Amino acid sequence: MSDLFLGLISGTSADGIDAALVRFDDGHAHLVFGRTYPWNPALRARLVELGQQTAKLTLDDIGELDVRIARAFADAASQAMADSGTDARDVAAIGSHGQTLRHRPHGTHPFTLQLGDPSTIAEQTGVRVIADFRKRDVAAGGHGAPLLPGLHAALLHSNAEDRAVLNLGGIANLTLLPAHGEVRGFDTGPANGLMDAWCLRHRGEAFDRDGAFAREGKVDDALLSRLLDDPWFAAPPPKSTGRDQFHLPWVASKFTGRESPADVQATLLALSVRTIVDALRATQPDTQRLIACGGGVHNAALMSALAGALPDCIVESTAAHGLDPDFVEAMGFAWLARQTLLGLPGNVPSVTGADGFRVLGGVYPA
C-alpha cells in the first residue's frame, strides 16, 4: 500500500474544500501539499442557508445535493493531485469527511448525516475513497465527534507539559493532552461559524478579516449572558454540536431589538472565547500550552482575546510545531483513511463516549 493519502474536508463554515496530500513515515505525518479550493458560490450559499435552518429540503433535494457536493469534492481532489504533480495511481486512498447536513447524536434514534456521495468521488477521481467516518462511532453509542484527537495525540503530545489542541473551525473543539493521563476531547460551542454568518449578512463578506468588524463594536454583556444561558454549554463532555444547533436564528432569539451589528459581532467573538476558556478551565485547569489550528488562527482579535483570557498559558498556532494550521483537519481525514485500511481504530472512546475503539468508515473501491 502506498504511504500517500489525500484528506478532504469542508467544515461547518463551508468556506472552502481543504485538500491535503499526506505522506506517512514511521508514525510521522508529513504534509506534501495543501490547498483550499472554493465552492461554487451558488452551492455554498445553499449550504450556508441549510446550516442556518432557513430552508427546507425534499428527498430529491437531498439526493441531488449528495451528488453535487461529491462532484465538488472530486474536483478538489483531482485539482490537488494535478497541482501537486501527483499521479492518482500513487494515492492509496482519499479520506473524505463530506459536508455535515445534520448531527443528532442524542435521542432514541441518534444519527449523523454527511453528504458527498463517496461512490461519485471514487468514480470521478479513479482513487479509492474512505468516507462516513462518524457513523460507526455514533452506532457504538458515541457522539461521532471530535475525531481528530487521535492525530493530535500522535503529533503534539509532550511528556513535559499539559497541552491542549484547539480547533477553531465553524465549531470549536478541544483535545486535552495531559503529560500523563488519558486523552480527552469535545466540542465547546461556536468558533467562527456565527461570526462568519453575521459578517456575511451585514458586510457581505464570508468572514471577519482579522476581527476588524468585531473590533468596531463592544461586547453587549446582557446579550452575552443570554447566549451563555443555553443549557448545552453547561452539559459535561462528551459532547458535540454543529451549525444546525448554533445558527443565526438562535442568536436572534436572544435579541431585545436594540443591538447594533458591530456590537453583536463583538459579542459573538466574546462568546467563542468565553466558552472555550470556561471549558478548558473546567476540564484541564493546569494547561500550560494551547495549540490552535483552523481558520480562526488568522483572526487576530480572536487569538489576542484567547491569550488575554489565559495569561498563564502559552497560546500559539500549530505552525510553531511544523503543522500548517489551515490543513490539520484535512490531514486528519487522510490519517483516518489510513487507519481504516490498516484495520486500526480511528475513534478515541474517552473522547466520543463510544462503547469502545472502532474501525471507522466505509471503503469505496476505485
Q: Tell the burial category of 79 from Cβ atoms under 10 Å away from its Cβ (0-12, 13-18, 19+).
A: middle
Residues with Cβ within 8 Å of 324's Cβ and at least 6 positions away in sequence, in order, are 31, 34, 318
> Which value, to the nearest 10 degrees, does the dihedral of the CA atoms of residues 198, 149, 325, 92 take?
-110
Domains along the sequence of the chain with CATH:
4-146+327-364 (3.30.420.40), 149-321 (3.30.420.40)
355 close to 27: Cβ distance less than 8 angstroms:
no
- Residues in the chain predicted with pLDDT less than 70, given as ranges, are 12-13, 27, 52-54
297 close to 317: Cβ distance less than 8 angstroms:
yes
In this prediction, residue 278 carries a pLDDT of 98
What are the Cα distances from residue 274, in Å, to 56, 224, 261, 308? 32, 9, 20, 11
Instruction: Give me the half-sphere count of Cα atoms (radius 13 Å) on the Cβ side of residue 165.
Output: 30
Cα separation, 107 vs 237, in Å, equals 16
**86, three cell numbers:** 501527483
Collapsing DSSP states into helix, strand and coil, what is residue 334?
Answer: helix
**Strand bridging mode 171-177 / 163-168:** antiparallel
Instruction: Give me the half-sphere count of Cα atoms (radius 13 Å) on the Cβ side of residue 60.
Output: 0
Question: Rounded to two decimals, what is the model's pTM?
Answer: 0.90
β-strand partners of 167: 173, 293
In this prediction, residue 57 carries a pLDDT of 87
DSSP-derived secondary structure for 245-314: TS-HHHHHTT--S---HHHHHHHHHHHHHHHHHHHHHHH-TT--EEEEESGGGG-HHHHHHHHHH-TTSE
In this prediction, residue 54 carries a pLDDT of 62
Scan for cell 493521563, then name that residue. Answer: 181
DSSP-derived secondary structure for 155-213: HH--SSS-EEEEEESSEEEEEEE-SSS--EEEEEEESSHHHHHHHHHHHS-SS-GGGHH
Cα separation, 200 vs 206, in Å, equals 5
> Is it true that the peptide bond before 110 is cis, omega within 30 degrees of 0?
no
In this prediction, residue 52 carries a pLDDT of 66
Scan for cell 497541552, then name that residue. Answer: 163
What are the Cα distances from residue 155, in Å, to 28, 29, 165, 289, 335? 7, 8, 11, 14, 11
In this prediction, residue 11 carries a pLDDT of 74
